[in-house]
A and B are shown apart, each in its own frame.
Chain A
Amino acid sequence: MSAVTAPVGAPPANPARTVMSWAQRSSWAIGLVGLLAILLVFTKIIQPSYGVAGIQGLGISILPLGFAAVAQAVVVIAGGIDLSIGSMMALTSVIAATLMDGQSAEFGLAVVAGVLVLGLVLGAINGALVVVTRVPDIVVTLAMSFVWAGFALLVRAAPGGAASPWLMNLVIGPFGNPWIPKAAIVLVIVVAVIWIPIARSRMGLSLYAVGSNQLAAFRSGVPIGRTKIVAYALTGLFAAVGGLALTASTSIGTPVPGPYTLESVAAVVLGGVSLAGGRGGVFGPVVAVMVLQIIQNDMTFLSFDPNFALVAQGVILIGVLILGSVLESRRARR
């Protein structure tokens, strides 16, 4: 189907130009990484004892939100939004923890696979409802967040269950070098393995196309409804990974949704994904999650009330958007 002609006979790409163009396009993400580096240095300065333990803690603490942010990024890129991510994470988390409790490693592996499929199905249901009912996505996913959270509580009324030990080993602890948390590696690898092939495929292009300009996408022959459903299904898949991460990092399943839905929206915006759709990637939001977490840590080190971190998060979120809006209108005036 994708009989895409290879760039045979195309003039050799000028590598410098390619790098420049990549840099231009990823300027937001690069800026975020720079900010992350600065923050790490700053953290080391204000808290000289910050080291292996801090980094490891950081790795574990960002894992579930990192996946939630990626999940949200996928659907926002396709021009939608999903307010049921936290609930899907809770549901997949309790199911995994309940099924794995006291079972063999092999069974645990099967559970992981099953939960990932479940995530796809949950997301596809969300997407199908959005497409078929034509009710605004905010309303549909808000309503479905009740439904998924309700199912989570039906599976387990209280936190409990257990994660397979191998699953916990997968994310807790260092990866070779004590400075590299396994969690970060898992986050990057899982996201890369799922997202990069998709982003490179026709489907990935279609996701961006639908989010960028639905009419142009339609005229270019993109099936709008099907693409949207795929976007929501992928979001469900990443939410399921997030749910597994939650179980792995806390060793239990928690039926009550965490703050992940709303924080994922914040991370997506900070990560350079346009809420209007079509712009951004999944790694920006991941870095944004790290930045937010370090800011929170730093405020603790500076013996600020940790709650100011929340305030800071809100102010950063609003500030970034206002800045964007001012820049946009200035550009339009020119």
Chain B
Amino acid sequence: MNASARANEWLTAVTWRRLLRDRPIVPLMGLLAILVLVIELADPGIVSPEWTGVIVRASVPLAILAGCQTLTMLTGGIDLSVAAIGSMAGFVTATLVHSPGGVAEGIIVALAAAALAGLLTGIGVGVFRVHPLIMTLGMSFVVLGLSNVWQLQMVQTGAGVPDSLRWIGSSTLAQVVPYNLLVFIPLTLLILLGLRRTGYGRLLYAIGDNPVAARLSGTRAWQVLIVLYVISAVMAAIAGLLISGLTNTASVSLVDTSLLPAVAAAVIGGTSILGGRGGFGGTIVGALILTVLTALLTVLGLPEPTRQVVFGSIIVVVAAAYTRVTSES
């Protein structure tokens, strides 16, 4: 009847579809804004610079862990070893705090151990074609077991989260700007630049989008994958160090509770677990959304269990929406 109105309506639907498909970060920012608005309505006055600082501080380690998932998911993989590796890193650093080399030695040992674990994972996935889910799962068993052994060996020397880690993990500038941004901002720039402007980043997308095409174009996927899992493991270690500093604890299961939210943040951020689609920008927003959502549910007085139910439901709904808008029909 009213052709132009119908066309208009259709246009809007298509535009939304396109927006969600091509620039998912825009609707995600909108969702984040709505959540912040709702939390302000629920508890007037809560949103303040200090509150923002707390949210950002909590989001940073989650975003890094989600970054591990983003990078691996771009190639069609996943990294379930980040929890074990992150915990291990925080734990090793804490136990080496009284060693001659001090904190620096601890961090170097932790990062090196993480890189080694990532290297082995990468060889398994890249060379032996073990499914990433299983390979990283197996690696997490190995790392967790060795961490436990390390724990028993080191228990007599005494341990503690080093002050420097506590500072960078939990302190803020003027009660607002968390110092963990000192780690996060350079890392983010590196990842964003890496994904958009380097040959390596292109290959991550290529392998995930179409491994056959990548191969026919001359890509040797094993090289890319080995490097990828080393990067992911080192990022997991960095996140683990920050979490250990934030919570002032060091335990072999410290990061475990962040594993599933990390995957969730990447999925919400628009990265497809099937590979070839997504990016770190969306993931950061995804991590912020999850953190704000947690805060909102706390403000609303909803208990932790309800939060989990809401979390899970949101992931399914968002993933289904992405699947709908990105599938060719």
Are both chains from one complex?
yes
Which residues of A are interface residues toward B (Cβ below 8 A)? 81, 129, 133-136, 138-140, 142-154, 157, 262, 265-266, 269, 275, 305, 307-315, 317-318, 321-322, 325-326
Interface centre among A139, A153, A154, A305 (most CB of B within 10 A): A139
A136 pairs with B274, CB closer than 8 A: yes
Residues in chain B near residue A129, CB distance under 8 A: 316
Residues in chain B near residue A318, CB distance under 8 A: 124, 130, 134-135, 138-139, 142
Q: Considering the chains assembled together, what is the distance between the CA atoms of A308 and B153 in angstroms? A: 13
Q: Considering the chains assembled together, what is the distance between the CA atoms of A151 and B148 in angstroms? A: 31
B273 pairs with A309, CB closer than 8 A: no
Looking at the complex, which one of B135, B148, B305, B316 makes contact with A144 (CB distance below 8 Å)? B316
Residues in chain B near residue A265, CB distance under 8 A: 133-134, 137
Q: Considering the chains assembled together, what is the distance between the CA atoms of A148 and B312 in angstroms? A: 9
A150 pairs with B307, CB closer than 8 A: yes
Sample of 9 more A-B contacts, CB < 8 Å, known A153-B303, A318-B139: A129-B316, A140-B316, A145-B260, A149-B308, A150-B305, A154-B309, A308-B145, A310-B148, A321-B130
B interface residues, how many (CB within 8 angstroms): 47
Any chain A CB within 8 A of the CB of B220? no
Residues 268 to 303 of chain B near chain A (Cβ within 8 Å): 273-274, 303
Residue of B nearest to A137 (CB): B273
Any chain A CB within 8 A of the CB of B60? no
Q: Considering the chains assembled together, what is the distance between the CA atoms of A140 and B273 in angstroms? A: 11
Which residues of B are interface residues toward A (Cβ below 8 A)? 78, 80, 124, 128-131, 133-135, 137-149, 152, 260, 263-264, 267, 273-274, 303-313, 315-316, 319-320, 323, 327
B149 pairs with A305, CB closer than 8 A: yes
Please name 15 pairs of A and B residues whose Cβ atoms are closer than 8 Å in the assembled complex, sorted by A.
A139-B315, A139-B316, A143-B311, A143-B312, A143-B315, A146-B309, A148-B312, A150-B307, A153-B305, A265-B133, A307-B144, A310-B144, A321-B124, A322-B124, A325-B128
A151 pairs with B305, CB closer than 8 A: yes
A275 pairs with B134, CB closer than 8 A: yes
Given that A266-B137, A308-B145 are known contacts, is A147 also in contact with B312, CB under 8 Å in the complex?
yes
B308 pairs with A147, CB closer than 8 A: yes
Q: Considering the chains assembled together, what is the distance between the CA atoms of A313 and B312 in angstroms? A: 29
B141 pairs with A317, CB closer than 8 A: yes
Residues in chain A near residue B135, CB distance under 8 A: 318, 321
A142 pairs with B149, CB closer than 8 A: no
A150 pairs with B141, CB closer than 8 A: no
Interface centre among A81, A153, A266, A310 (most CB of B within 10 A): A310
Residues in chain B near residue A147, CB distance under 8 A: 308-309, 312-313
Q: Considering the chains assembled together, what is the distance between the CA atoms of A149 and B311 in angstroms? A: 11
Given that A135-B320, A265-B134 are known contacts, is A313 also in contact with B141, CB under 8 Å in the complex?
yes
B134 pairs with A133, CB closer than 8 A: no
Residue of A nearest to B137 (CB): A262
A152 pairs with B305, CB closer than 8 A: yes
Residues in chain B near residue A325, CB distance under 8 A: 128-130
Q: Considering the chains assembled together, what is the distance between the CA atoms of A325 and B128 in angstroms? A: 6
B320 pairs with A315, CB closer than 8 A: no
Residues in chain B near residue A275, CB distance under 8 A: 131, 134
How close is B155's CB to chain A, nearest CB, in angstroms? 12
B308 pairs with A311, CB closer than 8 A: no
Residues in chain A near residue B323, CB distance under 8 A: 133-135
Residues in chain A near residue B260, CB distance under 8 A: 142, 145-146
A146 pairs with B311, CB closer than 8 A: yes
Residues in chain A near residue B264, CB distance under 8 A: 142-143, 146
Looking at the complex, which one of B130, B311, B319 makes contact with A140 (CB distance below 8 Å)? B319
Interface centre among A147, A149, A314, A322 (most CB of B within 10 A): A314
Residues in chain A near residue B134, CB distance under 8 A: 265-266, 269, 275, 317-318, 321
Residue of A nearest to B78 (CB): A138
Residues in chain A near residue B142, CB distance under 8 A: 310-311, 314-315, 318
B141 pairs with A266, CB closer than 8 A: yes
Q: Considering the chains assembled together, what is the distance between the CA atoms of A265 and B264 in angstroms? A: 20
Q: Considering the chains assembled together, what is the distance between the CA atoms of A153 and B260 in angstroms? A: 17
Residues in chain A near residue B146, CB distance under 8 A: 307, 311
Residue of B nearest to A135 (CB): B319
Residues in chain B near residue A262, CB distance under 8 A: 80, 137, 140
Residues in chain B near residue A134, CB distance under 8 A: 320, 323, 327
Q: Considering the chains assembled together, what is the distance between the CA atoms of A149 and B135 in angstroms? A: 25
Q: Considering the chains assembled together, what is the distance between the CA atoms of A114 and B138 in angstroms? A: 36
Residues in chain B near residue A157, CB distance under 8 A: 303, 305
Pick the 9 closest A-B CB pairs, nearest first. A314-B141, A146-B312, A310-B145, A150-B308, A153-B305, A307-B148, A311-B145, A147-B312, A150-B309
Q: Considering the chains assembled together, what is the distance between the CA atoms of A262 and B136 in angstroms? A: 11
B316 pairs with A143, CB closer than 8 A: yes
Given that A138-B78, A143-B264 are known contacts, is A133 also in contact with B131, CB under 8 Å in the complex?
no
Q: Considering the chains assembled together, what is the distance between the CA atoms of A246 and B306 in angstroms? A: 24
Q: Considering the chains assembled together, what is the distance between the CA atoms of A129 and B313 in angstroms? A: 11
B128 pairs with A138, CB closer than 8 A: no
A317 pairs with B138, CB closer than 8 A: yes
Residue of A nearest to B124 (CB): A318
Residues in chain B near residue A153, CB distance under 8 A: 303-305, 308
B303 pairs with A154, CB closer than 8 A: yes
A314 pairs with B128, CB closer than 8 A: no
Q: Considering the chains assembled together, what is the distance between the CA atoms of A310 and B84 in angstroms? A: 12
